[in-house]
Amino acid sequence: MIGWAGSNRDELAVSEAVASPGFAPAPPAAGQWQILLGAYHVAKKGCTVQYHIVFEKKELRIFKGDTHTHTNGSDGVFTPKELTQIAGRMRLDYLFLTDHNNEVQNETPYSTDTLTVLPGTEWTNYRGHAGMLGIRHPLRDIIANSGEEVREILQIAQERGALVCLNHPFCPFCGWKFGFDLPYDLVEVWNGGIGAEANLKCLHWWDEELRKGKRIPVIGGSDFHRLEPGRIPAFPCTNVIAPSKAPSDLIQAIRQGHSFIT
């Protein structure tokens, strides 16, 4: 059972990302679905009920959003609800909440009819940051003092289903110092919180990796903490080409490199 509604309702909607009040979001899985309708004070001659079922077909399109944001659950200033409201007013299609070493922001659903809010965490160490995108609980531990301990943290996140992203790896203050011979799925090549020089170094590194025959998906994240001149969510913006803005479709598209940065 995915939900129950009162008699004041004559329509409802269910999708993977969001559902009508009283119903749990659920993917429209193939198979037999059952609708139970309670009929109260029915005349002796009975009654006729008609259901009108509408499916929204998926089709490839571009979804705009942000893969790297922080709330007051770490070092941002806005609550998760306030941040998602800002993203909604900006007409973004999706938003990842990625607080430092924190998963609490993932406990409450914030998606709306127009905005898909996805879970995330930024694993944070003094020698590098890694985004863990798409699942509520990617972390078993946050402490690492060696490369092998870092490897274990990243592997566990991947095994749990997270996309692991090396964030701002060439930042002069919090760049990635553990090397690239570790498990990861993608790289944040442009970060809105650091200078252009560090971002250009990352782009140059990525270009060299492509020349070696490697295919590394990339994203750009705002690293948003607060509203400042030149600092807003989705600046830069990762544009994802996906059949829908359902979480599974967005995650799969990012994993496959079906995105570009503006």
The type of residue at 95 is L
H and E: helices and strands count for the chain: 4, 9
Q: Please tell me the distance from the alpha carbon of residue 227 to that of residue 232, in angstroms, as a whole number.
A: 6
Enter the pTM of the model.
Answer: 0.92
* pLDDT attached to residue 211: 98
Tell me, yes or no, whether 142 and 120 share the same domain. Answer: yes
How many domains is the chain partitioned into structurally?
Answer: 2
State whether residue 106 is helix, strand or coil: helix
Secondary structure (3-state) at 113: coil
What local confidence, expressed as pLDDT, does residue 214 receive?
97
Same domain, 11 and 39: yes
Do residue 90 and residue 41 come from a single domain?
no
Same domain, 42 and 68: no
Predicted local distance difference test score (pLDDT) of residue 258: 99
Amino acid, single-letter form, for residue 167: N
Tell me the C-alpha to C-alpha distance, in Å, between residue 90 and each of 86, 93, 238, 243. Answer: 6, 9, 14, 22
- Please list the helix, strand and coil fractions of the chain in percent, rounded to the nearest 5, in that order: 20, 25, 60
The per-residue pLDDT for 69 is 99
Please list the rounded mean pLDDT of every run of 10 residues in the chain (262 residues).
88 91 88 88 91 92 99 98 98 99 96 97 98 98 96 99 99 98 99 97 98 98 96 98 97 98 98
* Residues 42 and 72 occupy one common structural domain: no
Q: How much is the pLDDT for 32?
A: 92
Considering the domain architecture, whether residues 114 and 215 belong to the same structural domain is answered as yes
Structural domain for 23, as ranges: 1-56
